[in-house]
Structure 1
């Protein structure tokens, strides 16, 4: 089971996404949530680094729940969350 005890997150300008981490026991898993997904969660978010980080912080529980659903133990690299991950029924 993956958990998200670390509140660290950073904005990646190149990927246009917020980067955050989860932990499956001692295994660190890397996640990115794209700007479009953050805009879907918080339409009034400012379209800059500060705005996207604030949108992430305001929606952390929903984002972590979606990340847990896409996480596959033992996968390499990172998992990306996109707007479709936040449609009803996901």
Structure 2
């Protein structure tokens, strides 16, 4: 099966400084994280809402990058960086 993103929810993890979102490969859940630094030119003074808005604005690019990185034999947790989104 192909990786899909039917769930549009996302959340900001302040401890890890990432935005979390989920993908699904059939019945398997795949967890993705996007580094906060990858979502903005500057992270100075950005709030959780700012990061979530930046994620929403780049959602299609993020999903494309997640699909490129994903391989079912490499696990179910991935972290996307600015290089992955570039």
Same fold (TM over 0.5): yes
Residues 37-71 of structure 1: CA deviation (Å, up to 9, x unaligned): 1015xx6xx61100000111111111000000111
Tell me the SS of whatever aligns to 2:78.
strand
Count of matched residue positions in the alignment of Structure 1 and Structure 2: 83
Partner residue, 2:62: 63
CA contact (8 A) 2:29 2:76 kept: no
The separation in 2 between residues aligned to 1:69 and 1:76, in whole angstroms, is 14
Alignment RMSD, CA only?
1.5
Structure 2 residues without counterparts, runs of 5 or longer: none
Aligned partner of 1:82 in structure 2 is: 81
Asked if residue 32 in structure 1 is aligned to residue 33 in structure 2, the reply is yes
Using structure 2 for the length normalisation, give the TM-score: 0.88
Q: CA deviation digits over 1:10-41, x for unaligned, max 9?
A: 0000110000000000000000000111015x
Deviation at 1:74, TM superposition (A): 3.9
* 5+ residue gaps, structure 1: none
